[in-house]
Amino acid sequence: MRTFESVCDYLQREAPADPVVCYRPHAAAAAAAWFVRNFPGDVLYAVKSNPSPLIIDTLYKAGIRHFDVTSPFEIDLLKPYGDARIFYMNPVKHPAHIRAAYFEDGIRDFSLDTIDELDKILVATDYARDLGLHVRISVDNSRSRMPLAMKYGVRPSQAPDLLRATRLRAERLGVCFHVGSQAMDPNSFARAIERANRSIRKAGVIIDSLDVGGGFPAAYPGIVPAPLDEYMRVIDTAFENSLTSEACKLYCEPGRALVAESASVLVNVTLRKDNLLYINDGAYGTLFDAAHFKFPYPVQAIRDGHIHTSDTASSFGLFGPTCDSVDFMPGPFILPADMRAGDFIEIGQLGAYGETMRSRFNGFGHGERIHVNDPPFMSLFSDTLLPAAEQRR
Ligand SMILES: Cc1ncc(COP(=O)(O)O)c(C=O)c1O
């Protein structure tokens, strides 16, 4: 991967026709160091948010030793790290994948939210006696930008039975949940821990770990969350007051917050129609969340290798390169009013759920990756939120 001082430095030498992913591993390292220092338990990286080997390696070197995976592909990415502890936290897995994870990859921790999945794990591991089984409970996701509650999580009425059944089979019994991605209210975690408490009390079991999942927010324009310190404080207090023993471990599984700042994507404008810009990346590329969840990613225009500003700004929508009309990112993206074909746009905070969402639909989905040394667009891990963006000018 080639390294440049900044995206402008790159554009003074190249005029890429395909979108370019601009990695800032230093931003992922800063986020990881912050989480390792401030979370009152062990931090599992949710590999799905950015499975790039560069990012995994950066997080490992910054002190992350626990990883949450969803598939055999993600497990393979962790093979170079002998001391990585892998948690297979997809609550519904193929039996062949469970078997391979247990017997070939040495994975002992699995999540589940039904008796059927418990049975499946037991059969696939030949009724292993050394399992860490994490019961995923359903919790309120209403304060998150991206609720995940519809698909997974045992309901409160069924949780006690599942906890008791799992306790009988687990060497280590865990409870886990996810409050939804980009959770804007730190108290969502406290309420979820209270719900876990109610289920544990009703079940009459002792648990060995509590995993508060992901959901920690990143900064986007107009969606500025409470300081991350506040999330840590709320979780610490709720965990201290919970019905868990002194020996109970605490885990979290951040994806977005760890890696959002670690990449931007450089796109090229191919046509302008009024306030709509046609660009060379979109909903089937790195901009899935901009299209489907209307994420307002920060943008800056670059013309002739320099940041382009103008006294007048306008709101733009962006069309991606495929022939599908859902390939549309409504924004609004605030850019100079005189944007035109040929201009480049750098779209920030795309380190999480950016490149990993790319498909080859319509033959797109290619493009270079570069490493840049300049600061991310916005940072929750520097003293104040915006100077990083200003330093880039
Ligand atoms: C089981 C699990 N853990 C962690 C995460 C990471 O969540 P986030 O990126 O919101 O931190 C996800 C995201 O889908 C998930 O499904």
Residue 265 and residue 149 in one domain:
no
Check if 392 has its Cβ closer than 6 Å to any atom of ligand 1: no
CATH number at residue 283: 2.40.37.10
Query: Which of 249, 242, 93, 252 lies closest to 173, judged by CA?
Result: 249
178 CA from centroid of ligand 1 (Å): 7
Nearest-CA residue for ligand 1 atom 12 is 214
End position of a domain, from candidates 208, 238, 259: 259
Residue 200 and residue 68 in one domain:
yes
- Whether the per-residue pLDDT at 356 is higher than 50: the answer is yes
What pLDDT does residue 243 have? 73
CATH number at residue 118: 3.20.20.10
pLDDT mean over 83-93? 98
Q: How many domains does the chain have?
A: 2
What pLDDT does residue 387 have? 42
Residue 66 is inside which H or E element, if any? strand 66-69
End position of a domain, from candidates 233, 259, 285: 259
Residue 278 and residue 268 in one domain:
yes
What pLDDT does residue 204 have? 96
Check if 46 has its Cβ closer than 6 Å to any atom of ligand 1: yes
Specify the amino acid at residue 30.
Answer: A
Helices 95-103 and 115-124 cross at an angle (nearest 10°) of 50
Query: Which of 328, 303, 333 lies closest to 316, judged by CA?
Result: 333
Q: What mean pLDDT is reported for the chain?
A: 95
Check if 153 has its Cβ closer than 6 Å to any atom of ligand 1: no
Q: Which of 61-65, 94-98, 162-166, 385-389 has the lowest mean pLDDT?
A: 385-389
- Domain boundaries, position 152: 26-259
Residue 188 and residue 201 in one domain:
yes
Residue 186 and residue 51 in one domain:
yes
Query: What pTM, to 2 d.p., does this model score?
Result: 0.95
Residue 289 and residue 171 in one domain:
no
What pLDDT does residue 150 have? 87
Nearest-CA residue for ligand 1 atom 4 is 214
- pLDDT tens, residue by residue, 92-141: 999 999 999 999 999 999 999 999 999 999 999 999 999 999 999 999 99
Q: What are phi and psi of 45, to 5 degrees?
A: -85, 125
| Strand-pair partners of 112 | 135
Residue 166 and residue 305 in one domain:
no
Check if 252 has its Cβ closer than 6 Å to any atom of ligand 1: no
Residue 250 and residue 360 in one domain:
no
DSSP 204-266: T---SEEE--S-----BTTB-PSPHHHHHHHHHHHHHTSS--TT-EEEE--SHHHHGGGEEEE
3-state secondary structure of 279: strand
What pLDDT does residue 245 have? 80
What pLDDT does residue 383 have? 53
CA distance 185 to 142: 10
Residue 133 and residue 230 in one domain:
yes
CA distance 305 to 7: 8
DSSP 302-322: EETTEEE--SSEEEEEEE-SS
What pLDDT does residue 392 have? 52
- pLDDT tens, residue by residue, 30-63: 999 999 999 999 999 999 999 999 999 999 999 9
Query: Which of 390, 350, 391, 388 lies closest to 369, judged by CA?
Result: 350
Residue 14 and residue 48 in one domain:
no
Residue 246 and residue 266 in one domain:
no
Check if 181 has its Cβ closer than 6 Å to any atom of ligand 1: yes
Query: Which of 22, 77, 20 lies closest to 48, judged by CA?
Result: 77
End position of a domain, from candidates 259, 278, 306: 259
- Whether the per-residue pLDDT at 391 is higher than 80: the answer is no
Residue 226 and residue 356 in one domain:
no
Going by the DSSP 8-state scheme, the letter that residue 391 receives in this structure is H
- pLDDT tens, residue by residue, 203-219: 999 999 999 999 999 99
What pLDDT does residue 224 have? 86
